[in-house]
Amino acid sequence: MVRTRPSPLDEPRNAAHAWARYRRLMRGMAVFALVLIALAMMVLYALGAVVSIHVLIATALGIGLTVMLMSALMGLVFLSSGTGHDESIVDKLNEEDEPARRP
């Protein structure tokens, strides 16, 4: 029989607070990604690089998608750890989580 502990994210109020914090983090990282994209475009322009529009689009997409993927994954790690959701699992390798064995 598998024991489960209640997760703090099961409570609607905790979940709403955690997801609001996650959305705020993602909005901030989207602004950061746009700033990085603008900075990369300015560097390309300042260097006098003669590049096609395809290179500029690929650069913008590469920077934007990389930053947003990184922030989405790390944001989920922060959400899980920050709410105590990680502690609600039963770790079969941890002796403290194992139920007492019958002799």
| DSSP state, residue 102 | P
Residue-wise pLDDT tens digits, 21-58: 999 999 999 999 999 999 999 999 899 878 889 999 99
Highest mean pLDDT among 8-17, 74-83, 93-102: 74-83
Whole-prediction pTM: 0.71
Average predicted confidence (pLDDT) for the chain: 83
Interaxial angle between packed helices 12-46 and 53-82, expressed in degrees from 0 to 180 and rounded to the nearest 10: 150
Question: Cα–Cα distances in Å, from 12 out to 9, 16, 85, 88?
Answer: 7, 6, 14, 16
User: Scanning the structure block, which residue is given the tokens 């590049």?
Assistant: 51
Q: Residue 42's closest CA among 59, 22, 27?
A: 59
